[in-house]
Chains A and B, each alone.
Chain A
């Protein structure tokens, strides 16, 4: 009953519309809008909740209280923040490209809402079921890079252009390991359609252990690569140096204020939830319950529980790790993550073509471990700088 609650509500509402005599084309359009609006509303509500819970969790980690003045336990803080952002002055620099300055936050928000359309939220809750859903996700999130570039360029400020270049360099470099590790899953599931990827993880070893892709030897490597690259794609700490609020001016956001600034934040947080949802779909079995006898809990509750857990891990990492330096960040992506993603790909081929049994799992695990240590060896060497010679001092 609860499992089918959203679909039944939806069907009931559309039948109501038909009963009062609306033509079927209007009903179709209203139905499509209803799905779009409810999907966006769920994620925007999650954003509002996270904006306060993140500060609460960070405060707890740092032994502080966090926001606790507005409403019970400070839970109305997002409302106060929203009002503050809305009534702030919207400053447009004198020499800015005004159209592009306005377009950039809009263009940042639209892709992060568009990608929500293809995620399977429950066993029968897929807003749009595309055959190449995974490709759709990467295609749409590519548009967000243009938005970052626009934001940096439109303000006519050299610091924001430099910040945008750094942000794009980071996002472009981390897109490769992200896509390669997602490709492993597509190959193992034999499909680019997200509901089918979830279905292909739908069995339990010995009737108990979930057969999710994270628990295969190649999937462990690919999942970790995907997660780290996802952190960098969404500018989350420790990869939040495009914005780097305590060290730089705010990168491509330098010339933004008021609600345009807030729009970038909404886009970032919705994008973070979207990529958490994609991670859950690809590696953590989507809406599947972790144990077969827990299937009485509705699938969409499992899905959102997993997404919230992954989002919590991201906040936890933000509270734990310091920020990276840009050259470390790029060499980490190109010299470690990308080769590791490729070795996960080869481990997948070993695992698949040797018959997906225990022996092939062990072989593929050994391959991954060897690749991990071989690739990580240069990073463990102590950095010894050359002796500096100064021309004019001394």
Chain B
């Protein structure tokens, strides 16, 4: 007795074709809300929702391990850390009358966003990851076992794994320092 639908059944077809639609919509809405919310706590909760829907998106694409690791690390740890940092470093966030950004701020933010997207897009297009040679060398794998991921993380990718961990720690400390407000 199991609720896993059989591969090839009509339900499986629908889930595999349309399953990523809802998480994608949720992700975009949460990110939009995150960027226009003035209240920091609400913004942090919305980014937690975005992390969660990103996990669901990974799940709908069949990357089970990645999805659960995403939810565990980002919703359970990173979002909680953000909330703690906000609560411990800001006096009160309920003083703003408006909950969301107004029109002028939205327009400026939108323009900055477009410029940033353009610059990032140029970098991505120019990076070796996008080249045909890279895609030939490392073809996309349809299914990757848990053991293979584990062996890659402590084998070939160990150095980059550790470097990323250090980078993340540094980023979190930096964020805490930026958010810290010297009290009078």
Residues in chain A within 8 A of chain B (CB atoms): 6-7, 10, 23-25, 28-29, 31-32, 35-36, 95, 100, 117, 124-132, 135-136, 138-140, 142-143, 145-146, 149-150, 153, 156, 161, 165, 168, 172, 175, 192
Contacts and interface: CB of A to CB of B under 8 A. Distances in A.
A28 B146 contact: no
B76 A127 contact: no
B9 A28 contact: yes
B153 interface: no
Interface string B46-78: 001000100100000000110111011001110
A168 B80 contact: yes
Contacts of B3: 31-32, 35-36, 117, 127-128
29 contacts: A7-B1, A24-B9, A24-B10, A25-B10, A25-B11, A28-B5, A28-B9, A29-B11, A32-B3, A35-B2, A36-B3, A95-B94, A117-B3, A124-B1, A129-B2, A131-B145, A138-B72, A139-B68, A139-B69, A142-B72, A142-B77, A143-B75, A145-B76, A145-B80, A150-B45, A156-B94, A161-B87, A165-B84, A168-B80
B83 A149 contact: yes
A127 B69 contact: no
Contact of B55 (A10, A139, A145): A139
Given A25-B11, A192-B146, A135 B80 contact: no
A7 B68 CA distance: 29
A145 B48 CA distance: 11
Contacts of A172: 80
Interface string B32-45: 00000000010001
Contacts of A129: 2, 4
A278 to B, nearest CB: 15
The 3 closest A-B pairs by CB, nearest first: A142-B76, A139-B71, A139-B72
Contacts of A136: 68
B71 to A, nearest CB: 4
A10 B94 contact: no
B38 to A, nearest CB: 14
A307 to B, nearest CB: 18
A135 B68 contact: yes
A136 B10 CA distance: 26
B140 interface: no
B2 A128 contact: yes
Contacts of B11: 25, 28-29, 32
Contacts of A150: 45
B14 interface: yes
B79 interface: yes
B90 to A, nearest CB: 12
Contacts of B45: 100, 146, 150
A28 B7 CA distance: 12
Contacts of B1: 6-7, 10, 35, 124-127
Interface string B128-154: 000000000000000001100000000
Contacts of B146: 131-132, 192
A95 B94 CA distance: 10
Contacts of A127: 1-3
Contacts of B94: 95, 156
A149 B42 CA distance: 12
Nearest to A39: B3
Contact of B64 (A23, A131, A161): A131
Nearest to A193: B146
A23 to B, nearest CB: 8
Contacts of B55: 139
Contacts of A35: 1-3
B32 to A, nearest CB: 17
Given A24-B10, A28-B11, 18 more contacts: A29-B11, A127-B3, A131-B64, A131-B146, A132-B65, A132-B68, A138-B72, A139-B67, A139-B68, A139-B71, A139-B72, A139-B75, A142-B71, A143-B71, A146-B75, A146-B80, A153-B41, A192-B146
Contact of A132 (B10, B41, B52, B64): B64
A10 B2 CA distance: 10
A372 B181 CA distance: 42
A110 B145 CA distance: 29
Interface string B145-176: 11000000000000000000000000000000
Nearest to B12: A28
B83 to A, nearest CB: 6
Interface string B1-38: 11111000111001000000000000000000000000
Contacts of A126: 1-2
A156 B84 CA distance: 16
